[in-house]
Every structure is written in structure tokens, then in C-alpha cells.
Chains A and B, each alone.
Chain A
């Protein structure tokens, strides 16, 4: 009773998957702009790129979660049109997502069997368990079949996800940033598993933005940036970290920005030796110190998941921490978010659709979010509707927020207009300090330019700005100073003058200065 059908002998085509000219648009963003991608039988093909580069969109199309707006997908030479992940699995293509889809209270075996047509009615638990055990052993996926999911570590849970796909006969496995949740040793074990799969003729797409591990595991590498492929299937042997970093963070033609001369004032934000945990309770910040002065934009360059989001939350009162956070000399660490707002700290959050705005409320309601406590919007304990409306109309006009009326629910706005609304609201609080997190992620060029111009205007007015971004171009174009974060620490500091994209890219992706230029000392 074989479970997973063995990969059949090589057909006419040795390509496992071929994607040709894939186009996928979301409102206001082209996530995939005529993307080509191919996966050979028996290889690990790494897909490299920053968050928002379009990697996940492409893979979600392959796995049947999205339908492409244009282009063609072929699996083992045959054109396919997947309506759902079920269709993809039927064609032998399975995806392991970053966020697992397991039932915590059920056993490994039950989770693997969940949703399958067989066994038809009765669960022959013992038989299935033995089968799954054999499959696990074959690929070095150490996991107790009878254990319940909640008892397992994250690494073990990932193995269950892989087992699920193998049990369903997946010949092609897409792993979406599999190492993001793993300890180094677990990552090594995963690599072992992937190698034993490719040795059997199965193929793996490995999505990542960590250069070291991509070079360690991949046979070929495709790099994506802003929805386009910047390097298509180049062999991993011979590729260097420096080259990949450049392809990944790139150097696109940005609009020319008029910057006023740099005249830093007093220290507005001072972060001293801050430590904090992430949502999983793991250390996210391991002793971060930095300063931002009035009239200065300081950039935090970091790849997602290296503590920069937590840093923003610590400063804005949304996450408890250890250490010291001072705004104009007054402590704000572990104070309520409303205290921090009162101290003149504005915040452009990373998640603009459910943190930065309330999607089903009107534009007016969203624009008064930070000022409904003060007159003129507050009228005693009432909200003065007419003055709220007047403010909304005024902001819609002056920030060119594309909304049909101020009563429009903001979930109907495009990403760019949503971000304009958030910026309008935050800037109008006349902040002394602005924390901007990924303010242009997923926006089109016009909206990006607006955001950049608004940030520079605010700087010219003497505000201190902390800009957290994965877009190195953006950081280089806007910032007076740059701190690079990696794994919860500041690993390098640059001034605008001595910033060099290659060195920053390397530090962001866990490389050391030595990888770039052995002679230079660490920054």
C-alpha cells in the first residue's frame, strides 16, 4: 500500500513547473509583472526577494490559492488552471505556508489524514500511523505520529505540514520562508529532508530572504524585486552574497528628492539598551540603542523579522519592554499608547489595513482617530460631527486622498489612498517624532513619491523621523543616518555620506563585512 505515488519516469519535459508571463494585480499594486519561473525535476530552486517583492504571490498562484490575471502555468509540461489548492495537490503540487494550518488538539496522524477522501469512513488509525511513520522515516522527518500538535515544537509542526503534502503525493513542494520559524539546528535537519526529497526526483521551491541559507541549499536561484524577476534561475555555485544582495535590494531609478540641508537639533528619541519579546515570546530585541534628533530621518534597514517591527511597537507603547525609551527626555517605555500619543509621537504602522485604519469605518472616522479626544472634534463628551466632517473634507483635499466621499468606508480605498489618509492623520497631529514602518510597501510609484515628499516636508519642519524599511533605495534616498538591524541588534551604523548599498545589504542579510571586503573593519 504505497501512499505517495513515486515520481514517474521523466516525461518529455524535465521541467516540473513552468510559469510563463504571470501577471497578478491587486488594487493599486502589480504584485507580479510578467514573471517567468521554472523548476526542474530534482532541484531545489530558491526564490529570493524582499517582503512585497511578489514571491509569495507567485507561489500562491502556483499552489492554486490565486488565479493569475495573465500568463500560463504548466505542471510537468501540461497547462493547468487551478481553482483551489485541492486542484494543485491533485496535480502533485503542495505548499507549506509560513503560518501552519494544523489542528492543535489533534494528533499528527489525524492532521495528516484531515480532509482526505480515504480512509472513507472508519479511521484505521494504527495502519495509517504506521504508514505515516514509514513516510516520515524515509525523508528524515522526525515526529511522533501519535503526539498532539500542541505538544510539538514549531520545527516539528513544520515537519507535519511537509508530511501532509508528501502523504497527498506532492512531487513538487513549495516552502514559504520555512526557516523563519526554525532554530539553526532545525534548519539543518530541514535541509537534510529537502535533499532526500530531491534525491528521489521531487522538486522544491524554497522561498527566503536569507542569503546564507539560500547559497547552502539551492541548486538555482531566482531573484525578484518589486514584482519583477531580476535574476532568473542563475546557478547557486558561483553566486556571491554581495551580488545577490544587490539583485535583491537593487538600485532602481527613484524620483529625485529635494532635500533641505541636514540641520539636526536636539535629541527627540533616545532608545537605550531595549530588550523585548515577539508575539511568540521569543526575544526580538536584544539590547537596541539609538537616537533620533529633531530635523533628522534615521533609517532602520532590516529584513522582516529582525526586530524592527517590535522596536516600533515598543516606542509607540504597544509592546512591553526592558530598557529605556525617552521622548524629549521623558520616559515612555511601558506607558500606555495614549500617553505616547500625548507626548507627540505619531506612528505609521506596518499593517495599514487593520492597525492603521478601521476598515469598515468611514474616512471621517478614520481621520479623527488621533484627535477625537481634543477640541474641536471633542465637544465635551460628544464628538462634534460637523467639525469632524470639516477636518475630513479638508484633509481629503490637501492630501489628495482619492475617496468619493468622506463617508466612504476606507476598506474601499486603494493602498496608496489609505496610506495618504494615515499620513494625513498622523502629520496633522504635528508630531515631534514620527515612527514610520514600511510606509511605501506595496504602493505604486506615484503613491511612493507622495509618501516620500510628505516625510521630507515633515523633516523640514523639524520633526524627528524613524523610518523602518526593507527598501534600501528608500532608506538611502531619505535618511540622514542609517542603522542596520539583524536578529534584534543594531549591527552597523552609517551616515548618508558613507552609506554603501552593498555593505548595508550584506549586514541586513546576516553577512559580515568580511564577506564584502576582507580588508575593511566591521561598521
Chain B
């Protein structure tokens, strides 16, 4: 018996979304089986996850806080992936962005007492520049020297982490602890809770302005990818680099720019995290947002709007990680989801055929030499 994959000639419109939802369902079933196998109750666990992430306004707000960096890093990945640039370096670009934003406060690049209206935009700019630089490097390496971008971005993640550690253990260390001193209030993104005086219902809600960055970036990216001339070029390069070259597009230059923008968006995520959540720079500001972003972008089929939805789902999973023991369960679910998604991606393009293997020659020829032709 053999299994053959046959390319589909026509792909029905419903197939891709149906398979994506199916993939998540299968992943949850497999994860449920694993939970059951170790003696847990899968239904109760899933209900618990739901409750812990969407059960009240308070936890919903926490979910959105976790989703914010995922939206931005997910958008960063989606942009690069559109062009078939496998930027696995959103994690490092995120960290560099956090570092750049912190540098504005800690060097300091601006005098103490600078008001938020100036400080926050400066931090955003610095974060995006630093993250952009971290995307620019693998971009140039790939465009000019043909260096594989997966390896380059993956390795640069470690360089970024060491770079952060160099500063938080060294020059910026707060009396020897592996973190910097807390940022001044002017360097913190406003949170809903900050307006509790005016609107009492906002009390305790941690959602911060970074969420708006994410939503606005998604909107801009949609415009850029789906409506602009550059978006058209990116689609063309992503689908057939040779056709793009034939159409007169300078692929190398586009590649570097896209990588730099992708890095800048991930850098903005880093800025939003130090300024909106942590309030200082630490070496452990990311539980792997930049890696989860790869799955988010994939789940969203590289569409900016869907990135928001996927990021909120994964934000919920990360949040639930605090609630579920062992805490590896959400990470396992993430991994299985990525796996089933990749399978679904193959199934969109190919039809699976299972065939009984026919013995060669015997199929058409008579079984015995005596038999007639």
C-alpha cells in the first residue's frame, strides 16, 4: 500500500479556512489525549484555560496584555513570510527594540524630566531603529552574500539576549540585580487602570497603549501589503522571484527593506513591553514571544487582520500557563498546533491518495507462462 500526494488543480475557497480550524481542533484533541494520559481531565483543563483567559473583564485584559507583543511580533513575521523570507529572529529584534527604548531612558539620551509626549515617541523610534537594525543585518547578508536568513536570524537571537544581559548585568544593573532601575513615569505607556479615577470600571485593568500600536500597525500593514505597490511587489517576489526580476523589481533592495521593517515592528513590540508592562529592562522580558509569533503568523496565513485573532488566542494560552500545572501544557498545545497547521498547509495543496501497491509487470501480464496473452 502506498500513499501518494497529488497536487490539487482547483482549491475551493472554503478548504483553507476549514482545514485551519480543523487543524486546531485536531491539535486540541491530541493535547487532550496527552492530558488524559497523564491523569488529567482534558475537558476541565480546557474549560479552565477558557475561564482563566476570557472568564472576566480582568483576565480578558490580562489576555490582551499578553497578546499585544504577539500581535506586533506576529505582524513582523507575517510581513517577512509573505516574501518567503523566513525571519525566525523576531525574538532578537524584540529584545533589541526593548534595549533601544530603554537606552533612551537609561543612557540617558534625553534630560531627566522630559515629558511623556516627547519621551514615548522617542522610545518608540529608538526601539524600532534598534529592532530594524537587527532585521537589516540578516537582510543584507541574505541579499548581498546569499547567507541563509533562517540561520542568521536564529543565531542573532542569542546575540541579542547576550547583548541585553551585558547591559542589565553591567552598566545598567540596579545595584547588582539583573535588571535596570525602574523607568520614570513619563517613560511608561498609559494603561486603562491609570484612568480609574475618571472611569471606575477601569480599575485594575492592565491593558496599555501598546495594544493600540498593534492594532494600528495591523491596519497599516494591511494597507501596505494588500493595497500598495510595494505590497504587490512583495507578493510577486514571494510567489516567483524570477517573475519579479523579469518585471524589473530589484529583489535584493526589497528584501533588505522588508527585513528592516519586519525588525522594526518586532522592535516596537519590545518597546511596548518594557514601557507598558515591565517598566524596566530585564533579561527575561520575553517568554519566547518572537518564536510564538512564527506560529501566530502561520495560523493567520500571513494576513494582518487574522494575526490579531491568532495572537489573542495564543495570549490566552500563555496566560493560562500560569494556571495550569504542569505549566508545559500550553507550550505543548502550541507545538502541536504548529505541527497540525503545517499538515493542513500540505492538505490544502495536495490530495491524499491511498493506493494498493500493484506488483510491477505482474499486473498486466499473465500469471503463468502457460496462460495465453
Contacts and interface: CB of A to CB of B under 8 A. Distances in A.
B361 A355 contact: no
B10 A412 contact: yes
Contacts of B236: 358, 361, 365, 369
A295 B254 CA distance: 38
26 contacts: A72-B364, A78-B365, A79-B361, A79-B365, A80-B364, A81-B360, A87-B360, A317-B248, A336-B250, A337-B245, A338-B249, A338-B250, A339-B248, A354-B240, A354-B242, A356-B243, A359-B239, A361-B239, A365-B235, A370-B248, A373-B229, A381-B228, A381-B230, A383-B229, A383-B231, A412-B9
Interface range on chain A (Cβ under 8 Å from partner): 35 or more
Interface string B331-373: 0000000000000000000000000011011011100000000
A464 B226 CA distance: 37
A412 B11 CA distance: 10
Contacts of A341: 247-248
A79 B365 CA distance: 6
Interface in B215-259: 223, 227-232, 235-236, 239-240, 242-250
A83 interface: yes
Contacts of B248: 317, 336-341, 370
B243 A354 contact: yes
Given A75-B361, A340-B248, A341-B248, 9 more contacts: A80-B364, A81-B364, A317-B248, A336-B250, A341-B247, A349-B246, A354-B243, A358-B244, A383-B228
A221 B244 CA distance: 42
A412 B349 CA distance: 13
A385 interface: yes
A438 to B, nearest CB: 15
Interface string B1-44: 01000000110000000000000000000000000000000000
A475 B248 CA distance: 28
Contacts of B239: 358-361
A122 to B, nearest CB: 28
A385 B228 CA distance: 10
Nearest to A27: B9
A383 B227 contact: yes
A90 interface: yes
Contacts of B250: 336, 338
A381 B229 contact: yes
A317 to B, nearest CB: 8
A382 B361 contact: no
A360 B240 CA distance: 9
Interface of B: 2, 9-10, 223, 227-232, 235-236, 239-240, 242-250, 357-358, 360-361, 363-365
Contacts of B364: 72, 79-81
A351 interface: yes
A337 B361 contact: no
A80 B365 CA distance: 8
B60 to A, nearest CB: 36
A496 interface: no
Interface string A332-363: 00001111110000010101001111111100
B247 A370 contact: yes
Nearest to B243: A358
Nearest to B361: A80
A355 B246 contact: yes
Contacts of B228: 381-383
A378 interface: yes
Contacts of B240: 354-355, 357-359
Interface in A226-281: none
Rank and list the top 9 A-B pairs by shortest CB-CB distance, nearest first. A338-B248, A358-B239, A79-B364, A337-B248, A358-B240, A87-B360, A358-B243, A369-B247, A355-B242
A491 interface: no
Nearest to B363: A81
A83 B242 CA distance: 33
A318 interface: yes
Nearest to A347: B246
Interface of A: 72, 75, 78-83, 87, 90-91, 316-318, 336-341, 347, 349, 351, 354-361, 365, 368-370, 372-373, 378, 381-383, 385, 412
B372 to A, nearest CB: 13
Interface centre among B2, B235, B246 (most CB of A within 10 A): B246
Nearest to B242: A355
Contacts of A87: 360
Nearest to A338: B248
A180 B245 CA distance: 27
Contacts of B363: 81
B361 A91 contact: yes
A354 B364 CA distance: 39
Contacts of A349: 246
Given A78-B361, A383-B227, A355 B243 contact: yes
Nearest to A409: B11
B358 A83 contact: yes
Contacts of A318: 245-246
A91 B359 CA distance: 12
Nearest to A366: B243
Contacts of B249: 338
Nearest to B240: A358
Interface centre among B235, B240, B249 (most CB of A within 10 A): B240
Nearest to B7: A411
Nearest to B11: A409
A316 B363 CA distance: 52
A25 B131 CA distance: 53
Contacts of A90: 360
Contacts of A382: 223, 227-229
A466 B87 CA distance: 42
Nearest to A408: B10
A83 B245 contact: no
A337 B246 contact: yes
Nearest to B355: A83
A361 B246 contact: no
A372 B232 contact: yes
A173 B240 CA distance: 35
A76 to B, nearest CB: 10
Interface centre among B2, B229, B358 (most CB of A within 10 A): B229
A78 B363 CA distance: 11
Contact of A378 (B229, B242, B247): B229
Nearest to A357: B243
A22 B240 CA distance: 34
Nearest to B244: A358
Nearest to B246: A355
Contacts of B358: 81, 83
Nearest to A378: B229
Nearest to A82: B360
Contacts of A354: 240, 242-243
B353 to A, nearest CB: 12
Contacts of B230: 381
Contacts of A369: 236, 243, 247
Nearest to B235: A361
Nearest to A352: B243
Contacts of B231: 383
Contacts of B244: 358
Contacts of B242: 351, 354-355
Nearest to A370: B247
A4 B229 CA distance: 60
Contacts of B360: 80-83, 87, 90-91
Contacts of A357: 240, 243
A407 to B, nearest CB: 10
A340 B245 CA distance: 12
Contacts of B246: 316, 318, 337, 347, 349, 355-356
Nearest to B250: A336
Contacts of A351: 242
Nearest to B231: A383
A82 B231 CA distance: 46
A428 to B, nearest CB: 14
A412 B8 CA distance: 10
Nearest to A339: B248
